[in-house]
C-alpha cells in the first residue's frame, strides 16, 4: 500500500518565484515522490485575513509550508506606499506563521529579501547582519515587515524552548534571503515592476516602435561592433 503523501503548501504559488518552484517540481516528479504540492494565491485565501488563512490551513492540512506570498513591487510603488507594504506584509506573515504553529506543520520556510539589509553595511553580507542598522529609506515599509519574519522565527523557537508541555513535536521556522530575481511570469508593468523587467519592457517597446516606424534592426550599432568592423577593414588594407 502507498504511504500517505505529505502536503507542501506553497503560498504565493502563482507569482514569479512560486511558478519557478512549480516548474522545478513538475520537471522531476521522482525527486519529490511522496509529496503533494499545493500552490495557492490570493484567490484561494487573502492571507492578510486571519479567518481566511485558518480556513486555507483547514482545507489543505499542510505538513510543510513554503511561504512566498507577499505584497511585492518595485521602487516607485514602495516609495509611495510604505504603510500598505508594512501592514499587509506584517499581517500576511503573522497569519501564515501563526497557522503553521497552530496546525503543527513540520517546517515553514519563508522568503526574506536582500533589501531588508541595512543601507550602510559591509560586504560580503550574511544573515547575521540583517538587523545591524536601518534599511534604505525608500523601502522601509516592506523591509521592516520582512525583517519581522526573522524576529517571528526566533520568537517561535524561544516559545518552544520554554513551553514544551511534554509535546516535543514543533514547527521548524526558517527563511532564505534571495537577491533581486527576474524571469518568466515576472511583473513587467512600468508602474510597479522591479528594475530588470522594467528595462526589458522598455527595450521591447523601443524595438516594437522602431519596427512600426519601418526602421531596420541595424539602424543602430553598438560602438564596439563598428570599431571592430573598421579594424578589420584597416587590417585588410594594410
Binding site for ligand NAP (CB under 6 A): 12-18, 41-43, 46-48, 68-72, 92, 111, 113, 178, 180-181, 187, 194
Sheet with 64-67, side-by-side order of all strands? 35-39, 6-11, 64-67, 107-111, 172-176
Bridge partners of residue 65, in order along the sequence: 9, 108
For ligand NAP, the closer of residues 176 and 203 by Cβ is: 176
Q: State which residue has the least CB distance to ligand NAP.
A: 15
**Residue 26 in grid coordinates:** 513538475
Q: Which residues are catalytic?
A: 142
Query: Closest separation between CB of residue 120 and ligand NAP, Å?
Result: 20
CA dist., res. 68 & res. 184, Å (int): 16
Return the C-alpha torsion angle 44, 46, 49, 54, nearest 10: 20
For ligand NAP, the closer of residues 11 and 171 by Cβ is: 11
Query: Closest separation between CB of residue 146 and ligand NAP, Å?
Result: 6
Query: Closest separation between CB of residue 51 and ligand NAP, Å?
Result: 13
For ligand NAP, the closer of residues 102 and 229 by Cβ is: 102
Query: Closest separation between CB of residue 57 and ligand NAP, Å?
Result: 13
Count of C-beta atoms within a 10 Å radius of residue 84 = 15
For ligand NAP, the closer of residues 13 and 198 by Cβ is: 13
Q: What is the DSSP string of 61-94?
A: --SEEEE-------HHHHHT-HHHHHHHHHHHHH
CA dist., res. 5 & res. 8, Å (int): 9
Give Cα 142 distance to the centre of its chain: 12
Query: Closest separation between CB of residue 219 and ligand NAP, Å?
Result: 34
Per DSSP, the three-state class of 175 is strand
For ligand NAP, the closer of residues 66 and 105 by Cβ is: 66
Amino acid at each position: 500500500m502507498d504511504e500517505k503523501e505529505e502536503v507542501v503548501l506553497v503560498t504565493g504559488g502563482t507569482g514569479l518565484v512560486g511558478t519557478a518552484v512549480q516548474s522545478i517540481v513538475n520537471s522531476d516528479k521522482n525527486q519529490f515522490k511522496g509529496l503533494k504540492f499545493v500552490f495557492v494565491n490570493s484567490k484561494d485565501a487573502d492571507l492578510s485575513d486571519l479567518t481566511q488563512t485558518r480556513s486555507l490551513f483547514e482545507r489543505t492540512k499542510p505538513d510543510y509550508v513554503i511561504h512566498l506570498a507577499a505584497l511585492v513591487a518595485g521602487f516607485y510603488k514602495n516609495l509611495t506606499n510604505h504603510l500598505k507594504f508594512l501592514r499587509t506584509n506584517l499581517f500576511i506573515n503573522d497569519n501564515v506563521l501563526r497557522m503553521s504553529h497552530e496546525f503543527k506543520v513540520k517546517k515553514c520556510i519563508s522568503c526574506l529579501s536582500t533589501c531588508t539589509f541595512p543601507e550602510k553595511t559591509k560586504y560580503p553580507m550574511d544573515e547575521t547582519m540583517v538587523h545591524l542598522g536601518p534599511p534604505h529609506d525608500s523601502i522601509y515599509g516592506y523591509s521592516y515587515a520582512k525583517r519581522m519574519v526573522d524576529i517571528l522565527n526566533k520568537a517561535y523557537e524561544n516559545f518552544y524552548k520554554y513551553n514544551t508541555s511534554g509535546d516535543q513535536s514543533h514547527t521548524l521556522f526558517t527563511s532564505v534571503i534571495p537577491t533581486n530575481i527576474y524571469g518568466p511570469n515576472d511583473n513587467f508593468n512600468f508602474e510597479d515592476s522591479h528594475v530588470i523587467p522594467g528595462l526589458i519592457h522598455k527595450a521591447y517597446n523601443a524595438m516594437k516602435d522602431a519596427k512600426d516606424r519601418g526602421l531596420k534592426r541595424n539602424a543602430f550599432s553598438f560602438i564596439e561592433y563598428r570599431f571592430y568592423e573598421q579594424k578589420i577593414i584597416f587590417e585588410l588594407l594594410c
